[in-house]
Amino acid sequence: MKVLVSGAGGFLGRQVVERLLKGGHSVRSIIRPAAGDSPWQDDVEIFRADLRGHGELVAAFDDVDAVVHLAAATSGNEDAQFASSVVATERFLGAMARSGVKRLVHVSSLVVYDWSRARGVIDEGTPLLDDMYGMGPYTIAKIWQERVVQKFAAAHSWDITILRPGFIWGPRHALIAGMGRTVGGIYLMFGPLTRLPLTHVNNCADCLAAAVENPAAIGECFNVVDGDDVRVWRYVREYAKRKGPSGILLPVPYHVGYGLACLASLTSHILFGSKGKLPSLLVPRRFESQFKPLRFSTQKLTRLLCWKPPLTFEDCLKDTYSV
Amino acid sequence: MGKLKGVIIGCGAIAREHLRALESLTNVEVAAVCDISSARAEATAERFRISAWYASYSEMLADIRPDLVHITTPPTSHFQIAKSCLAAGLNVLCEKPITTTYQEFCELRELSLEKRCMLMENQNLRFHSIVRRIASLLKAGDFGDILDVQVIYALNVSGPDVPYTDPNVAHYGLALRGGVVGDFLTHIACLTHMFAGSALDLRTIWAKRANDRVLPADEFRAIVKGEHAPAYVAFSGNTRLNGLWLRVSGTKMYAETNLFEPPRLILRRSRTGEPALMSLLDGIVEARSVLTGTISGFWRKLSGASGYDGLSSLIERTYQALELRSLPPISLDEIDQVAQLVDGLAKPELKL
């Protein structure tokens, strides 16, 4: 199979390309013009483009059987993230619509779910967030990106698969939002016993490749997590063991943190009405979307794709911290 | 009487500021928004509960006849869009800089006069609460005669992770004269014009400090001989201390403020009395101004007030002028003089 990978130069993209090559596929990678030399040898075709720009993209789809769409921003303000994730996706899929390629695997995120409405467990049936404008720029962009994908897929009868990974971690990317925050010299660990929706970058890449390869994935959405047995406390401890403590560790029970956020939000509402602004940690819905104690189901991945993460948590630790 | 209708062309960050300002106006309805990205237009319409969105402004203006078109697209598109709107007999409120050249502005000005349409540029700093306060003290004679004006804009445009230097997609500001610095000249020119008067002569220095960046220039200085006073104006793109400082010196009073941090304003008056005591008194007054201004500024941020202090007032006054068929909040002559000053500042006389 010939697979086109957008965002191939990114943290996850590089691993996806490696995994596809190992799977015997030929790969065409889209990387940005200023990204430097190709990280691969001659076994990967390079298509240089920035999806936010005005360059023609249709040629990228020549002779392609499937597309993995990973390109998205993970930082920047709302406009920068919307441009990089949503407007870029519009341009990319506009070109795909003119190319005749029908198979698309899109990488979304667990942030598209409404964590406030999730009861006990997040699975593929959890309602999506529909009022997202009080959330952070990443959430807004990922929801709109998925909406754009769904619209194009419906209009052009594409065979799509949407994958929604949790916290993707790995070498040089071990710090994740669910770990907590450093405020001054104090490291606040919210909900030490909360289960983390972790997916190591190699496991996540393997899952993406499995979705490309397995026809059972067509027309489906999957949440991508390696499992949910690792709790915040353990993850932070493993991190601190190798990287050193990043301040005085202060475990804060989830409900205490959430209660403080509710109190701050209520005070802001009384004083300023709906226009009041608070840091993200003090916005209850944003706090929930990072720290709410939930379970994360992998049943659908196992049932439909028979997928299991190839690396255990210990393997992942070794891989992450050996660099 | 029905509500006035506004439409927005271009749904980026500044459009959201216009829309937030419009939300508080009871006599205005936003009839539609438009952006070349359908998703951006639809997201904006959903967020602000606007009933219609378009990906083509021609289609939007074929369906809706607004009382005012807000043009909030990147500057290089302003001229064409404003020209089509004015040609269709529509009033225009355009983001700064209104055009990329003075010649283009002149063409729009003539068209607006011929069609009897309002042509307005977003010079929101004219209505900034602190700028208004300084202007009213000046009008009341508290400053005495103006001796000089300083306008210093400091913004990190040259750092490695700022959009202005993105090596993959050129920032829209690079198409302006002076590069991205050109995007801020209207603010500098508008404040200079307000306090120093029309420019009679000027001298400019443009420099490039960060040689490894795509920017044609990242530092700019100028001396302007104004009708009322001389002005020293500057833009620094290499600082990490962002701010927009306005300093006005008069024979009887001195005012200093960072317009990024309203309502902090330091006023110093000439006093008669024992110098040591007066110096102590000045210090106490200044410390009180800084403290109360800083706390009020923090409170203001928590309240969700727009960072564009003055935009709300400008938009409200613009619609009021349309409703009452009265004079616009900024006259065409004032916009013309600012456009001329921007044109002059953009010409590098000395390059370092």
List strand residue ranges (DSSP E) for A129-256, in order.
Answer: 159-165, 167-169, 181-183, 186-190, 198-200, 220-224, 248-252
pLDDT at position A268 is 96
Which distant-in-sequence residues (6+ apart) come within 8 Å of A261 by Cβ? A281, A282, A283, A284, A287
Instruction: Give A107→chain B minimum CA distance, Å.
Output: 18
What sign results for the dihedral spanned by CA atoms B118, B122, B128, B134?
negative
Q: Is the CB of A80 less than 8 angstroms away from the CB of B163? A: yes
In one-letter notation, the amino acid at residue A196 is L
If you average pLDDT over residues A15-31, what whole number do you get? 96
CA within 13 Å, CB half, B260: 10
Q: Above 80 in pLDDT, residue B192?
A: yes
Contact indicator for A136, A310 with CB cutoff of 8 Å: no
Instruction: Give A231→chain B minimum CA distance, Å.
Output: 34
**Helix ranges, A44-132 (H):** 78-81, 88-99
Q: Is the CB of B303 less than 8 angstroms away from the CB of A275? A: yes
Considering chain A, what is the average pLDDT of its residues? 94
Structural domain spans, chain A: 2-168+197-227+294-311
Contact indicator for B105, B334 with CB cutoff of 8 Å: no
Q: Which residue of A has its CA nearest to B45?
A: A133
Q: Above 80 in pLDDT, residue A52?
A: yes
Q: Is the CB of A87 less than 8 angstroms away from the CB of B43? A: no
Q: Is the CB of B39 less than 8 angstroms away from the CB of A144? A: yes
In one-letter notation, the amino acid at residue A163 is L
Q: Is the CB of B304 less than 8 angstroms away from the CB of A272? A: yes
Helical (H) or strand (E) element with A207:
helix A201-213
Q: Which of B41, B62, B39 is nearest to B52 (CA)?
A: B41
Q: Is the CB of A277 less than 8 angstroms away from the CB of B37? A: no
Question: Chain B contact for A34, CB < 8 A?
Answer: yes
Higher pLDDT, B170 or A16: A16
Out of B168, B301, B304, closest to residue A50 by CB: B168
Out of B38, B47, B168, closest to residue A32 by CB: B168
Question: Chain A contact for B160, CB < 8 A?
Answer: no
pLDDT at position B348 is 77
Which two structure tokens, joined as six digits, stand for A113?
A: 């779910």
Q: Above 90 in pLDDT, residue A248?
A: no
Structural domain spans, chain B: 4-123, 126-308+342-351
Q: Is the CB of B13 less than 8 angstroms away from the CB of A79? A: yes
Residue B121 phi, psi dihedral angles, 5° rounding: -110, 145
Question: Chain A contact for B12, CB < 8 A?
Answer: yes
Residue B340 buriedness (CB in 10 A; 0-12 / 13-18 / 19+): middle
Cβ-Cβ contacts under 8 Å, A155 against chain B:
none
Q: Above 80 in pLDDT, residue A74?
A: yes
Q: Which of residues 249-268 of A touch B (CB under 8 A)?
A: 268
List the CATH code of the domain at A2-168+197-227+294-311.
Answer: 3.40.50.720
pLDDT bracket for residue B167 (50, 70, 90): confident
Question: Chain B contact for A271, CB < 8 A?
Answer: yes
pLDDT bracket for residue A264 (50, 70, 90): very high
If you average pLDDT over residues B170-186, what whole number do you get? 93
Contact indicator for A26, A2 with CB cutoff of 8 Å: yes
Predicted model pTM: 0.93
Which two structure tokens, joined as six digits, stand for A282?
A: 């003090």
pLDDT at position B1 is 65
pLDDT bracket for residue B306 (50, 70, 90): confident
If you average pLDDT over residues A198-214, what whole number do you get? 97
pLDDT bracket for residue B81 (50, 70, 90): very high
Rg (CA), chain B: 21
Instruction: Give A137→chain B minimum CA distance, Å.
Output: 12
Question: Chain B contact for A47, CB < 8 A?
Answer: no
Q: Is the CB of B38 less than 8 angstroms away from the CB of A272? A: no
Q: Is the CB of B39 less than 8 angstroms away from the CB of A140? A: no
Question: Chain A contact for B273, CB < 8 A?
Answer: no
Mutate to test the interface with B, among A135, A275, A278, A282 (most CBs of B within 10 A): A275
Out of B37, B302, B303, closest to residue A90 by CB: B37
Residue A24 buriedness (CB in 10 A; 0-12 / 13-18 / 19+): exposed
Which distant-in-sequence residues (6+ apart) come within 8 Å of B145 by Cβ? B250, B251
Cβ-Cβ contacts under 8 Å, B39 against chain A:
86-87, 89-90, 144, 147-148
- Residue B337, helix vs strand vs coil: helix
Which distant-in-sequence residues (6+ apart) come within 8 Å of A206 by Cβ? A19, A307, A309, A310
Across-strand partners of B320? Answer: none
Cβ-Cβ contacts under 8 Å, B163 against chain A:
80
In whole angstroms, give the CA distance from residue A257 to residue B311: 37
Q: Is the CB of A278 less than 8 angstroms away from the CB of B43? A: no
**Tens digit of each residue's pLDDT (9 = 90 or more) over B29-73:** 999 999 999 999 999 999 999 999 999 999 999 999 999 999 999
Q: Above 90 in pLDDT, residue A39?
A: no
Alpha carbon separation from A14 to A147, B238, B271 (Å, rounded): 25, 34, 69
Question: Chain A contact for B281, CB < 8 A?
Answer: no
Mutate to test the interface with B, among A6, A75, A79, A133 (most CBs of B within 10 A): A79
pLDDT at position A311 is 96
Q: Above 80 in pLDDT, residue A285?
A: yes
Q: Which of B138, B151, B106 is nearest to B332 (CA)?
A: B106
**Tens digit of each residue's pLDDT (9 = 90 or more) over B96-128:** 999 999 999 999 999 999 999 999 999 999 999
Question: Chain B contact for A86, CB < 8 A?
Answer: yes
Q: Above 90 in pLDDT, residue B161?
A: no
List the A159-165 sheet strands across, edge first. A44-48, A26-31, A2-6, A66-69, A103-107, A159-165, A220-224
pLDDT at position B278 is 87
Instruction: Give B89→chain A minimum CA distance, Å.
Output: 32
In whole angstroms, give the CA distance from residue B298 to residue B285: 20
Q: Above 90 in pLDDT, residue A40?
A: no
In whole angstroms, give the CA distance from residue A28 to residue A43: 9
Which distant-in-sequence residues (6+ apart) come within 8 Å of A67 by Cβ? A3, A4, A5, A6, A61, A96, A101, A103, A104, A105
pLDDT at position A54 is 84
Which two structure tokens, joined as six digits, stand for B336?
A: 């013309």
In whole angstroms, give the CA distance from residue A233 to residue B284: 51
Question: Chain A contact for B307, CB < 8 A?
Answer: no
Q: Is the CB of A271 less than 8 angstroms away from the CB of B302? A: yes
Which two structure tokens, joined as six digits, stand for B108?
A: 């729009």
Instruction: Give B303→chain A minimum CA distance, Å.
Output: 4
What is the CATH architecture of B4-123?
A: 3-Layer(aba) Sandwich (3.40)
In whole angstroms, give the CA distance from residue B111 to residue B86: 7
Mutate to test the interface with A, among B14, B23, B37 (most CBs of A within 10 A): B37
Across-strand partners of A199? Answer: A168
> Could you write out the DSSP letters of every residue in B63-114?
H---SEEEE-S-GGGHHHHHHHHHHTT--EEEPSSS-SSHHHHHHHHHHHHH
- Residue B1, helix vs strand vs coil: coil
Q: Which of residues 166-185 of B touch A (CB under 8 A)?
A: 167-169
Q: Is the CB of A77 less than 8 angstroms away from the CB of B13? A: yes
Out of B40, B301, B302, closest to residue A82 by CB: B40
* B15 DSSP assignment: H
Percent of all residues in chain B with a pLDDT value above 90, rounded to a whole number: 81
What b-and-e string marks burial along B73-99, b requiring 16 or more CB atoms within 10 Å of the CB? bebebbbebbbbbbeeebbbbbbbbbb
Q: Is the CB of B304 less than 8 angstroms away from the CB of A277? A: yes
The domain made up of B126-308+342-351 has a fold known as Dihydrodipicolinate Reductase; domain 2 (3.30.360)
Question: Chain A contact for B302, CB < 8 A?
Answer: yes
> Rounded to an integer, what is the distance from CA B282 to the centroid of its chain?
32
